Every structure is written in C-alpha cells, then in structure tokens.
Amino acid sequence: MSVYKHPCKLGWQMIKIFHGRAGKPEYIPFCGNREEALKFEAELRGTINHADPGWNDLLPDFLLTFQNRASVNGVKSMGYSMKHLGSFFGDFKIRHLTPLLIEQYKANRLKEGVKKKTINIELSALSSYLNWINETTGSLYKLPKRFTRRETRPPLPQVMTIQELGDIISQMSGDMQIIVSLMGLCGLRRNEALTLTAQQVDCAGRILRIYGKGGKWRMAPVEATGIMVRLEQLCKERPTGPLFISPRTGRAWVDIRKQIGSAAIKAGITKHVTPHLFRHSFATALLNGGSDIRVIQELLGHSELATTQGYTQVADTIKRAETSKLVANVANMQSLSGKGFPLENK
C-alpha cells in the first residue's frame, strides 16, 4: 500500500493498494492531508492497536473530532498545545503517560521559561485527548494533574509610589501627559482614556462619564485643574470622535507602552511600568491614604468588592515594607547613639 497525491482534486490523497503482479492495483480516494491518509491506510492494514495505542495513533482522529466541535480559537490553542506535547510524548505509548512522566514534562517546560498558566493549558489539551481515548476505546487512562490555582497566582505587582507617578508624568508632554494623568490620577483603564470623547466630559461638574468593562457606566471626578482645562480645550476642538489623536497616524492612539517606557527610563524608575500599573498605583495610593474600599470600588468600576480587595494585598505589602524601614532606621539611630533599641530581640 502507498499514498499518493491526487493529480486532479486539490486536498485529496490516493491510497494505492497492490494485489500482486497479476492483479491490477486498487486506488482509494481520501479527502484529507497526508498524515490522515497514512492513518487511514494503517487502519486498512489493521496495524493500529486500539487496545494499546501510541501517542500518534489516534491523534488525527481526535483532532478531526475536536475541530468539528470547537471554535476557531480553540482549534488554534489545541494545535499549539499538541505541538509541544507531541515533541515530548511522541515516542511513548498512551499507557506510558504516568504521573511521573507528566511531572517531567512540566519540569522541562518550566526550564524553558514557560509560565505555569500556559503549561496548564497544554495539560488541559492532554486531558481532552485522554478523555476522548477513554470514551472511544473504553480505556481508563488517568488524567494529568495540573498546577493549582495558588501555584499559578501571579506575583503582586510592583506599584508606583506617588513620587514615582509624578516623576513619570513630569517627563511627558502634550496629550500623552493628559492620558497618563487620567490613568494615574483618575483610575481610568488604558482603553477608557484613549477612547474618551467630548460627550463623556462634564466640564462644569469636573466629571468624566466612563463606559467601562461589561457595559457599565461610572463617574470619575477630575480634581487636577490642568487636566480639566486641557480636556475642555479638546472638547471644543474635537466635538466628535476621540479626544486624543496620534500625530503620527491621525487616528486614536492604540498603544502607548513605548511612550510610557521611555518616560520611566528618563525618570530613573527601574520598575516594569505598564499602562495598567497606573490604575493599580491609583487604587493602592487611595488605600494607603485611608480611603474607604467601597469608594475605591465605585471609582474603579468593579462589580464585585472582592475584585477591589485584591488591591489590599498590595497596599498591605507596601505598608509592611515602609514600617520595616522605619523600624530599621530607628534601630540604627539608637545603635549609633550607643543605646539599645527597646523593640529589638535579645
């Protein structure tokens, strides 16, 4: 048996079956790629052992089934995951996929610098494959154990201090300075600031009507006089469409990370500064200043208080760090004066 490309039909393969020297060869058309045609040929030969399949034996069937049921993005994600899974498990039988082998795969991916969340996506793809094999063949293969939610929890962001926030804003000019100020001093998300229109600005009341995530509206007060004056000017210049226009494209800004990164370098800030970090810093500064968490919830536009409470972890970390600095400074002063520090453990 051999597989050939069909000369007439695009995407079709021809499987040629030989019947000895005396008999004429038989051609069986197959619509699919070469890998699927080879798989079909192997089934005709009866060479696939469904009771003990290898990694690649049932994979084409699974991917075809998955493609017919999943979304376009789901198919792309599955293909990406299977590419990495296949490079590691390709030479193994399915029964070889023991918990120890799965842990080795996770360890290898971590060494490559892959995030645990990404590895979990790949392990979910593996679970889907094994589930499908179990349903198809009646097997009882165990599913892989993924990283827990605690293990995949992202580290607390390094928020900016009020001084650092002011330093970055001072390094900017023009509309970019206003955009960053809206994020850092009013708590706007990047897209909320970039798509702001004149209809959303109440100049008399010094209020912004923000259309946020989930189609929710909220009010954001503007206390900085300079920001309000510039917004009022922009509302007169651009009564329709976005207020902030990129001088390079003549359209609304799309990405401002480069401008923010350059300003942070000029300000001497070594932290990884992103647009969303300004919103984090805004919320944390309010918490450190003693603002009520429900007021902050309204300013940020969070539906659930639990979302806002996530910022308290950052605020508590900063407070503890600042307290530790104070204790260390007082202890150092006592030591220099020759007196023992009363709170020091002996």
Catalytic one of 39, 189, 190, 280: 189
**pLDDT higher than threshold 60 for residue 7:** no
* Helix boundaries (H) for the chain: 34-45, 59-69, 72-89, 99-111, 116-137, 149-152, 162-170, 174-186, 190-194, 225-237, 257-266, 275-288, 293-300, 305-336
Percent of the chain with pLDDT over 70: 78
Percent of the chain with pLDDT over 90: 46
Residue 200 tokens read as 């959303």
Per the CB < 8 A criterion, the answer to whether 298 and 308 are in contact is no
Give yes or no: 302 in active site. Answer: yes
Helix (H) or strand (E) segment spanning residue 29: strand 26-31
256 φ, ψ (degrees, to nearest 5)? -120, 15
**pLDDT higher than threshold 70 for residue 44:** no
Gap between the Cα atoms of 29 and 31, Å rounded: 7
Gap between the Cα atoms of 22 and 14, Å rounded: 21
Of 11, 68, 17, 13, the C-alpha closest to 38 is 13
pTM of the model: 0.56
Gap between the Cα atoms of 316 and 287, Å rounded: 9
pLDDT of residue 290: 84
**pLDDT higher than threshold 90 for residue 80:** yes
Mean pLDDT across 63-79:
92
96 contact partners, CB below 8 Å, separation of at least 6: none
Mean pLDDT across 262-280:
91
Catalytic one of 213, 216, 266, 271: 213
Per the CB < 8 A criterion, the answer to whether 203 and 232 are in contact is yes
Q: Between these two residues, 42 and 254, which has the higher pLDDT value?
A: 254
Give yes or no: 211 in active site. Answer: no
Mean pLDDT across 36-58:
74
Q: What is the pLDDT of residues 107-131, one digit of tens each?
A: 999 999 999 999 999 999 999 999 9
Give yes or no: 189 in active site. Answer: yes
Of 16, 18, 21, the C-alpha closest to 6 is 16
- Confidence bin at 322 (pLDDT 50/70/90): low
Q: Between these two residues, 42 and 264, which has the higher pLDDT value?
A: 264
Average pLDDT, the chain: 83
Catalytic one of 109, 146, 280, 302: 302
Amino acid at 265: I
Mutual angle of helices 257-266 and 174-186, in 10-degree steps: 90
* Beta-sheet pairing, 217-221 with 12-17: unpaired
Buried b (16+ CB within 10 A) or exposed e, 191-218: ebbbbbbbebbeeeebebebebeeeeeb
Give yes or no: 50 in active site. Answer: no
pLDDT of residue 149: 86
pLDDT of residue 18: 62
Catalytic one of 50, 216, 276, 294: 276
Gap between the Cα atoms of 180 and 165, Å rounded: 9
Q: What is the pLDDT of residues 169-228, one digit of tens each?
A: 999 988 999 999 999 999 999 999 999 999 999 999 999 999 888 788 899 999 888 899
**pLDDT higher than threshold 60 for residue 336:** no
Give yes or no: 83 in active site. Answer: no
**pLDDT higher than threshold 70 for residue 41:** no
Per the CB < 8 A criterion, the answer to whether 31 and 40 are in contact is no
Give yes or no: 280 in active site. Answer: no
Catalytic one of 106, 109, 279, 280: 279
Sign of CA dihedral 195, 201, 207, 209: negative
